[in-house]
Amino acid sequence: MMTRRVLGQCVLLLALLWAAPVLAEGTESAYAQGWRDVQAAVGEFAVAQLRYPRGPQRTAALKQARDRYQAVLAQIERSPPPPTMTVLHWELLPLNEDLLAGMSTVVDGETTGDPVAIELGWAWIEQVRGQMRRTLRGESVGAR
């Protein structure tokens, strides 16, 4: 199931960020915490679909996770990255904005009861997560 893969990728990215020795103290630690918070919101988004049956409760949970994700992402965008993370920061931000668009598509589909929009949103999220995996592995932008 696509949602489980998304959740697994969130856990992987969260583990990588948690273990990053370059983000050990001070403002770097706050920066790393911001990325952990972003990934936690993505995890909450994925779990909401598994936890609740389709309906108002699921829609509300998805919207809440999406809104949290958007708020933390905006905070990261306003924070300068540590020097060692500058390149990765600018590679991941647009991907995270694309992920937000996919989340919004899912929320809109849940709100209107449109199963095609819901599937499109989850497929969009899965595609962006794949691009994130490649970026974190250090594959070149041209290889995407």
**Per-residue model confidence (pLDDT) at position 131:** 93
Question: What pTM value is reported for the model?
Answer: 0.76
**Per-residue model confidence (pLDDT) at position 6:** 58
d(CA 96, CA 118): 18
Q: In terms of residue numbers, what domain contains 53? A: 2-137
Listed as ranges, residues in the chain with pLDDT below 70 are: 1-28, 139-144
**Per-residue model confidence (pLDDT) at position 20:** 46
Which conformational region is residue 54 in: left (phi greater than 0), alpha (psi within -120 to 50 degrees), or beta? beta
CB under 8 Å to 21, separation ≥6 — which residues? none
Tell me, yes or no, whether 47 lies in a domain: yes
Tell me, yes or no, whether 144 lies in a domain: no
**Per-residue model confidence (pLDDT) at position 32:** 84
Tell me, yes or no, whether 143 lies in a domain: no
- The total number of structural domains that make up the chain: 1
